[in-house]
Amino acid sequence: MSDLQSNVQDRLEGYIDRGDEHAVQVALYVDGVQVLNVAAGECTTDSLFCAWSVTKGIVATALHLLVDRGQVDYDHRIGDYWPEFAAHGKESVTLRHALTHCAGIPHMPPGCTPEQLCDWDLMCDAIAKLEPLWRPGSQTGYHFWTFGWIVGEVIRRVSGQPLEQFIAQEVCEPLGIRDFHLGIDDAAAPRVVPLREDRPTVYDGELSDLYLRAAPPALTSAAVLNRPEIQRACIPGCGGITSADAIASHYALLAGGGEFGGRRLLSRERINTMRELQTDALDQVAGKRYRKGLGYFLGGDEALGGDPRIGDVGGEFGHPGYSRAIGFADPERNLAFGLTKSTMNPLCPREKSVAYVLAEMVRTWVDAQRPK
């Protein structure tokens, strides 16, 4: 383990020295035990980062808790839980559609401002009034921001608790996770490392109109996510403030078949269902194929839509973020990985990203420890 830690630390320091990264945390759990928790650059292991869409994976896990408890069903209509949503052509949208980005409403409400992101009721009301861009279930397209409010409002309606409270009490507290926040308080604020972009966000015509509607430039930037009021709000698609260790602890639950630290939160059957392939069709927003489970992206052959950072076999599952933060579970290895970072470099090829390089390092190390 000391060799792994020193090798990972050296690799991270190389990224920092070259100026490719400025602050990075990495955490690893194997068989439910923390093996790695390191930081490099302008942070410590106690620092917090906005992890962008890594947030979605933890929100999805919260919904699966309700499914396991028999309170919701993947194939029930969202309107059964949130009646106002079932309007303007969305009457047939199910939770499965939402979890697999097939609901047809990846686009944000027109004219949405950063200030409006902070108003939960306003955002849910605006999303309920949207019309789907395709027949629900007929196509898939990444719901960059809207995923969080759609799934989160169902959790709120069913549980009777604000989403941030439900996740804190039902997911984080039982797992001993202290550093996942859907809205930070004043005490946590000094620990947050600001996001920075490796170059100014430029939209040069290469991105589709649909992508720009799903991730509007006026919202999707380091400058917006660094704003104090944004960091203090519950923004469940992209706004989680967390640490690599918190992310890895969450995925240790999923890698361990629903059990972590002596606590079982999910059934093994639920874990297997969560990571089943639901679609590997062309993503209409991203313009390429992605293998998707129920709220997570899947590993597997990259040519078939697998995410090589998550793994290349296919049973691995997790969620990346726009900054190239990531968290994933590899149940076959009982491995859970979390990485947070400050530098947003979404155009960096996956195979050159710090997440891929370090994930490959830890997979190789874990395989070397197993009996031949």
pLDDT digits (tens, 9 = 90+) for 210-253: 999 999 999 999 999 999 999 999 999 999 999 999 999 999 99
Q: What is the CA angle 27-316-10, rounded to 5? A: 30
Q: Please choose, from the candidates 151, 163, 327, the residue with its C-alpha nearest in 3D space to the C-alpha of residue 250.
A: 327
Domain map (residue ranges) of the chain: 2-369
Q: What is the CATH number of domain 2-369?
A: 3.40.710.10
Query: What one-character-per-residue DSSP string does 26-72 give?
Result: EEEEETTEEEEEEEEES--TT-BEE-TTHHHHHHHHHHHHHHHTTS-
Treating both helix axes as pointing N-terminal to C-terminal, what angle do 354-369 and 2-18 enclose, rounded to 10 degrees?
170
For residues 310 and 318, the answer to whether their CB atoms sit within 8 Å is yes
Could you tell me the pLDDT band of residue 79, with boundaries at 50, 70 and 90? very high
Q: What is the mean pLDDT of the chain?
A: 95
Side chain identity, residue 192: V
The reported pLDDT for the residue numbered 198 is 75
Could you tell me the pLDDT band of residue 200, with boundaries at 50, 70 and 90? low
Percent with pLDDT over 70 in the chain: 97
Helix (H), strand (E) at residue 297:
strand 297-298
For residues 309 and 298, the answer to whether their CB atoms sit within 8 Å is no
pTM: 0.96
Percent with pLDDT over 90 in the chain: 92
Cα–Cα distance measured from residue 353 to residue 359, given in angstroms and rounded to the nearest whole number: 10
Per-residue pLDDT of 292-316, as tens digits, reads 999 999 999 999 999 999 999 989 9
For residues 235 and 181, the answer to whether their CB atoms sit within 8 Å is no
φ, ψ (nearest 5 deg) of residue 66: -65, -35
pLDDT at 203 over 90: no
The reported pLDDT for the residue numbered 162 is 98
pLDDT at 135 over 70: yes
